[in-house]
A and B are shown apart, each in its own frame.
Chain A
Amino acid sequence: MEKEFKNPFSKIRAEQMGDSAWKYFVVPSKAHIGSKPLIFEGSRGTGKTMFLKCNSWKEKYNEAIASKHDFKNFILNNQHIGFYYLTDGRFVKSLQKKNVNDEIWIGIFNTYFNVVLAKEIIEFIELLINDKIILFSDIQYALDKVSLRIKKPKPLSLNEIIQSLDETLIAIEHFSNNTNEAQPIGLNSGTIIEDILLQLKKNPLFTETTFHIFIDEYEKLTASQQIELNTLLKQSNSNIVYDFGVLSKGILTPKTSTGQEIRRKDDFSLFSTDRYDYYEKNEYNEFLKEICKKRLQVELDRSEIEFDERNYDITFYLKYYGKQHEIALFSKSPKLSKIKDRIYEEIKRHCSLYGYTEDEQIVIRKELLNCSPIHMRMHLALLLRKNKDKIPALDLVEHKISNSAKYQDWCHNTETAVFYLLCDELNIEKTYHGFNAFSALSSGVIRSFLELAEFAFDFAMNSNNPFSIDNLREFTIDEQTKAVNFVSNFKIKEIDSYEPYGYRLKEFTIALGKIFNALQTNPNATLGEVEQNHFTTNTAELRFNFPNADLLLKDSVRNMILEEDNPTKTKSEDSVEFLDYHLNHIYCPAFKISYLRKRKINLNYKDLAKLINGTHKELTDTVKKLSGIKDLDEPNLFDEI
């Protein structure tokens, strides 16, 4: 029996899980490995690797073994058997140029791809032979053919074919390092893979089997290499299916080597997590809960103690405490008197402007000041409204007393914005708690959610009331808030590592954060426009006038720094195209801004180009201009992190 409680979320990436990824795997409801190729498209951290790895034979086999199934049973129970390939970006990129023409490189790439997949398939065959499910002679014809293709002697054993494949791979490495070396064999795409798998299919055990080749991190392939694999996807059939995992906007070309194109629905199904509202869907929240449940099960079951059902439910730990905690802090704040003073001043201005009587003034003061800090701060914002939006103090009082629909609207629409304003003005830390807040902050990126959960557990396990197997408790507001702030800050820092433009994207992200923070904490805000955390811009103009900035903008979407919302297209003659861009919610706590989707700002494409690709002076000047209020002499935002 294991008494020590280990953080169930400490392994975040599929790569960290080794052979036990299957233990943590939950199938996304709309992603399906079937007879039609699948393209799983999403930004980093959305579960592509986990999905493809856990559908590959190795993980499924590990799972079967753990469930005491034998290999034969495993094959009979799995109609789809997949072989996983993680694109070796550095190496495939080296297979080009160097005074060698493209066609030769493509042939060499095809040989490389055939060889690495063949090695993976032969590992599978080795198990089949070891378990006496097939004989070497059953597969010998295909292996002879493979040897013929790579100009090696016919193999007498699996070891011999592995050796031949390794030698072929080494020859490719040598040639990529020095093109004076002997030129390796060039093949057509998928030939060796097909030779072996079609031979396997002749065995009655595999008649109904569809073999899959899972290609992960497809975006790392060059356009010419993608064309070769697109051809394989297009040619997929019930025998062999090619499925891709690809980063958003990572498909460089839909072309195939036969001059056709791969098309959605006709050639493949698309599972994309890149819909702006994906994370607002119940589908995402339920998916997260299932993922957490598996992880909690793995950890809790080690103890062999029987637990209550709620202990497997992440929502139990990530408890939502309501708004009362923050409201109590606001009420106790000594700085609240400054807000009251400002309301007095505004009431005076209104009295003089509208000529209110002494009695009316008393009522106004009583109604607008004797209330919760939330309403009080809202009243100040409403009193600040001028011209056509003005709300005379007495009208406001009447709305309040009658609790009119309008008053209720004001309360509803401004409440969150007022919380952020008060946190800023009263110098109170914004709190984050509850599963829904964590889910919304993750912006559809599973890895972000797991990181939030990991640090929530960490803070709880290292608190004065340590969370442990004997003390499975709800996390406090403080523990949850600390986790959110910690993760939010390191996610900003992490942008640096997003190749190749991370250093630029981080500056851009912080610049956007500063602008939104300045707008959301403007003490004179009238809260007509609240919680600005996204922008719209003319992408056609940006693309035309500032192609480099456009490239960086696309890269920020690809890395999920920004989320592209459904475009609002104007089919005018100028084909003006506007798109909305949302800052990934995970960054919002670091910038002390609201993560709710409320208002956008219009960002002129020229200003956007300066923010994303301008000089330091242009960047600083543009942030100042768009912020309008805050002086940028304040310390670098990062210093506060």
Chain B
Amino acid sequence: MSFQEKYIFTPENATFFSSQFDILITGWKDLSSERCMHFQNNIPNFKGLKYSFDICENVEKLSFRIENSDGILIDEKQNLSLIPELYNLLLKSNFKGSNICIDITSLKQGILFLLIQIFINNVKPAQLFVAYTEPLEYKKRRDIHIGETEEYDLYDRIIGSSNGVPGFNKSRSSKKILLLAPIGFDSQRLQTIYESLKPDKLIPIVGFPSFVPGWNLTAIKMNYLILKSDDCFDFIRACEAASPFYLFDLLTEEFHRYNSQYDIYISPLGTRPHCLGAALFVAKNPSTYLIYDFPVEKKYRSERILKTNIYHLSKYIS
């Protein structure tokens, strides 16, 4: 097991951590969500700027808001073209050489991938942290409607993988395709990507140990049909659900094992820390492909808070 710079954020170390960065990046989500606001509301020493980012459903348009630590609005822009405006914003602002923390709890994945790519390869801040607040429970469906098969009520809809991930577009080669997919609770997502990609080999990755015991089995249960149809049970890999570092290591291992035979496609459908690990890996390994289906998350999709982790990612900065 390799070393990982992962810390549990507690009231005792909150003062220390909040003085470690001068720019906080968050999602532009519902401010009334306890889990989304948990980290931001508990960093008393933070005196820097807060950037909130949002993107539209088809991942083309960017909106952002800049506030100071007292919540006073400094700048706000809406409906900019995500590319190239995010590059322009981050490269022209004071990000280079600064200490940055991204709270990914509420940040949409479409922008998370691109942010990581730009920070790691282009902006290169002095230090890069990521915070993530884990839920205690995800919301289950109360009523089963006609045609619904999902046990959990996590998404309004899924935009689909026919759009490339901004910043990670890459033309297909003639090699065979290996799909590495951290899986989650929604049975439709892996199936859709599988159907669209038609991989020659599938390696599912289950979050284990999971945030809450048993969630790893739920993930297998929800994806059972596609795992069965691909006959890939023997290839299932386990990786701590809360660890982007271990996912990075696992992807590195599989990459070296299969790179000569296959084009490696990574589709992070599981936890947000796994999305982070996948983004780090693809940003560092441009010969791999990132494929994502851009689900539109429910406003209230989780209940209560388990804990917040802080990941120190500076070692990945190129």
Contact = CB atoms under 8 A, between A and B. Distances in A.
A497 B190 CA distance: 9
Contacts of A514: 146
Interface string B75-91: 00000011111011000
Interface string A606-641: 000000000010011001000000001000111100
A180 B148 contact: no
Nearest to B229: A490
27 contacts: A86-B172, A90-B163, A90-B164, A91-B164, A91-B170, A98-B81, A98-B82, A98-B84, A99-B84, A112-B171, A172-B171, A173-B170, A173-B171, A176-B164, A220-B162, A490-B229, A496-B187, A497-B192, A498-B195, A499-B192, A499-B196, A502-B188, A510-B146, A510-B147, A511-B146, A619-B145, A623-B146
A637 B145 CA distance: 10
Given A89-B162, A494-B191, A499-B196, A176 B225 contact: no
Interface in B115-154: 143-149
Interface of B: 60, 81-85, 87-88, 143-149, 157-164, 166-172, 187-188, 191-192, 194-196, 198, 200, 225, 229, 291
A510 B167 CA distance: 38
A69 interface: no
Give me the 7 closest cross-chain CB pairs, A-B, nearest first: A507-B147, A499-B160, A497-B195, A94-B169, A90-B164, A616-B145, A510-B147
A177 B166 contact: yes
Residue in B83, B167, B171, B198 whose Cβ sees the most chain A Cβ within 10 Å: B171
A398 to B, nearest CB: 46
Given A94-B164, A172-B171, A636 B148 contact: yes
Contact of A494 (B161, B195, B198): B195
A178 B167 contact: yes
Contacts of B84: 98-99, 178-180
Interface string A377-403: 000000000000000000000000000
A76 interface: no
A503 B171 CA distance: 28
Contacts of B158: 500, 503
Contacts of A90: 161-164, 169, 291
Given A13-B198, A176-B169, A499-B162, A493 B149 contact: yes
A177 B168 contact: yes
Nearest to B226: A497
Given A93-B163, A503-B157, A497 B188 contact: yes
Interface in A65-119: 86, 88-91, 93-94, 97-99, 112, 116
A98 B83 contact: yes
A514 B146 CA distance: 9
A112 B170 CA distance: 12
Given A169-B171, A497-B194, A636-B149, 18 more contacts: A91-B172, A99-B85, A178-B84, A180-B84, A490-B229, A494-B195, A496-B188, A497-B195, A499-B192, A506-B147, A507-B147, A511-B147, A514-B146, A620-B146, A623-B146, A632-B146, A636-B144, A638-B148
Nearest to B170: A173
Contacts of A533: none
Contacts of B149: 493, 496, 636, 638
B243 to A, nearest CB: 27
B60 A116 contact: no
Contacts of B198: 13, 15-16
A509 interface: yes
Nearest to B192: A497
Contacts of A15: 198
Contacts of A176: 164, 169
A500 B166 contact: no
A280 to B, nearest CB: 28
Contacts of A499: 160-162, 192, 195-196
| Interface SS of A by simple majority | helix
B87 to A, nearest CB: 5
Contact of B172 (A88, A172, A497, A509): A88
Nearest to A508: B147
Contacts of A507: 145-148
A593 B192 CA distance: 28
Residue in A88, A90, A93, A179 whose Cβ sees the most chain B Cβ within 10 Å: A90
A112 B169 CA distance: 13
Nearest to A505: B147
A86 B145 CA distance: 38
A496 B171 contact: no
Residue in B147, B148, B191, B200 whose Cβ sees the most chain A Cβ within 10 Å: B147
Contacts of B81: 97-99
A500 B162 contact: yes
B87 A180 contact: yes
Nearest to B168: A177
Contacts of A506: 147
B313 to A, nearest CB: 21
Contacts of A13: 198
Contacts of A503: 147, 157-158, 188
Given A91-B170, A172-B171, A180-B87, A97 B60 contact: yes
A113 B196 CA distance: 21
A53 to B, nearest CB: 12
Nearest to A493: B225
Contacts of B144: 636, 639
A86 to B, nearest CB: 8
B188 A616 contact: no
A496 B169 contact: no
Nearest to B163: A93
A493 B188 CA distance: 9
A421 to B, nearest CB: 24
B148 to A, nearest CB: 7
Interface in A173-187: 173, 176-180
Contacts of A497: 188, 191-192, 194-196
A500 B164 contact: no
A636 B194 CA distance: 26
A86 B195 CA distance: 15
Contacts of A502: 188, 192
Contacts of B170: 91, 173
Residue in B88, B149, B195 whose Cβ sees the most chain A Cβ within 10 Å: B149
A634 B200 CA distance: 40
A488 to B, nearest CB: 14
A131 to B, nearest CB: 21
A178 B145 contact: no
Given A220-B162, A490-B225, A636 B146 contact: yes
Residue in B146, B158, B168 whose Cβ sees the most chain A Cβ within 10 Å: B146
A179 B83 contact: yes
Nearest to A14: B198
A97 B200 CA distance: 32
Contacts of B169: 90-91, 94, 173, 176-177
A4 B147 CA distance: 41
Given A91-B164, A503-B157, A177 B83 contact: yes
A278 to B, nearest CB: 24
A509 B147 contact: yes
A182 to B, nearest CB: 13
A572 to B, nearest CB: 35
Contacts of A220: 162
B236 to A, nearest CB: 20
